Amino acid sequence: MKGFLSKVRIYIGFDDTDNLDSDYGTGKVARRFEKLIPEGCRLWGVLRQQLLVDEKIPYTSHNSSACLVIDTEDLFLRDGLLDAAVRHLEDQASSGSDPGLCIACEGAVSFTSLMEFGKRCTSQIVTQSEALKAASGFHLSGHGGTNDGIIGAAAAVGLTASGWNGRFIEFGGLRDFPHEVSVSNLEQAGISVISLDRDAIVPDMTDIVVTNGWLRPRLLGFKPVLLVNPEVKGRWISIGGKRNKDKEQV
């Protein structure tokens, strides 16, 4: 009998898959995994999570990790996802990296400890043993080097599962949108547009958003939200921008 449910959300966290000479970072490794997702699973999105930047923490670029959010109606597909994720890390992780993997399914075990751990990782230095404790009941494994990647992988899942942290690096083909796109088209794609204007003006559906080719919504209230500032009436500019030579912001 299949583990058939209405819908199960599965989080897959990756961290520390690159080195100083890599042509790509953890974000791209996470996005590439979409091609290996088994039938019966659907990628909802991939998020980049920013962790603490401190000279005492070994990291390659900006100390970020990535989390895939996958929906399925068959809980038993988790095992196939786990096997595929392990093979993907072994194939994609760069020499000298310390890759980590975390997989957690909604419904079976409380995410509270993992969420709290993720928040701690944004402001404190933590250890592998603390990561393993926070991920108790979920899958957490290291796949090379010092295995320090388990820290960021667990944090990525916890922060994403909270519903209020992270930047989407993949969601419904967001890279295919033009440099200027209507609010209506974004909303139809499932991306809410929220103004940061001091008067809290609501963008009209016919208004245009200027993305400059870098559309990266935030995860706010368990959904992708594009934060914008007004340019002139009827035109908005999305906040943020791609940093030069930033392998994580793929």
Domains of the chain as residue ranges with CATH? 4-168 (3.30.70.2200), 179-238 (no CATH)
Q: What mean pLDDT do residues 15-23 have?
A: 66
pLDDT of 18 strictly over 70: no
Give the pLDDT confidence score for residue 97 in this predicted structure: 81
Residue type, 230: P
pLDDT of 2 strictly over 60: no
Q: What mean pLDDT do residues 228-236 have?
A: 95
pLDDT of 219 strictly over 70: yes
Contact (CB, 8 A) for 144 and 99:
yes
pLDDT of 158 strictly over 50: yes
Give the pLDDT confidence score for residue 1 in this predicted structure: 41
Contact (CB, 8 A) for 154 and 140:
yes
pLDDT of 212 strictly over 50: yes
pLDDT of 249 strictly over 60: no
Which residues fall within 8 angstroms of residue 72, CB to CB, at 6 or more apart?
A: 7, 8, 10, 40, 41, 42, 78
Question: In the chain, what percentage of residues exceed pLDDT 90?
Answer: 66
- Mean pLDDT of all residues belonging to the chain: 89
Q: What mean pLDDT do residues 65-91 have?
A: 91
**pLDDT per residue over 114-142, tens digit each?**
999 999 999 999 999 999 999 999 999 99
Give the pLDDT confidence score for residue 59 in this predicted structure: 59
Give the bridge partners for 194, in sequence order. 227
pLDDT of 3 strictly over 50: no
Spatial distance between the Cα atoms of 116 and 160, rounded to a whole number of angstroms: 11
49 φ, ψ (degrees, to nearest 5)? -115, 130
- pLDDT tier, 109 (very low <50, low <70, confident <90, very high otherwise): confident
Spatial distance between the Cα atoms of 43 and 130, rounded to a whole number of angstroms: 29
**pLDDT per residue over 43-76, tens digit each?**
999 999 999 887 776 655 578 899 999 999 887 8
Give the pLDDT confidence score for residue 4 in this predicted structure: 47
Give the pLDDT confidence score for residue 21 in this predicted structure: 58
Give the bridge partners for 168, in sequence order. 47
**pLDDT per residue over 170-202, tens digit each?**
999 999 999 999 999 999 999 999 999 988 899
Give the pLDDT confidence score for residue 61 in this predicted structure: 59
- pLDDT tier, 244 (very low <50, low <70, confident <90, very high otherwise): low
Give the pLDDT confidence score for residue 17 in this predicted structure: 64
Give pTM, 2 decimals: 0.90
The CA–CA distances, whole Å, from 140 to 25, 110, 128, 192, 203 equal 20, 15, 10, 33, 42
pLDDT of 245 strictly over 50: no
Pick from 250, 222, 226: which is nearest to 9 by CA? 222
Label the pairing between strands 235-238 and 4-15.
unpaired
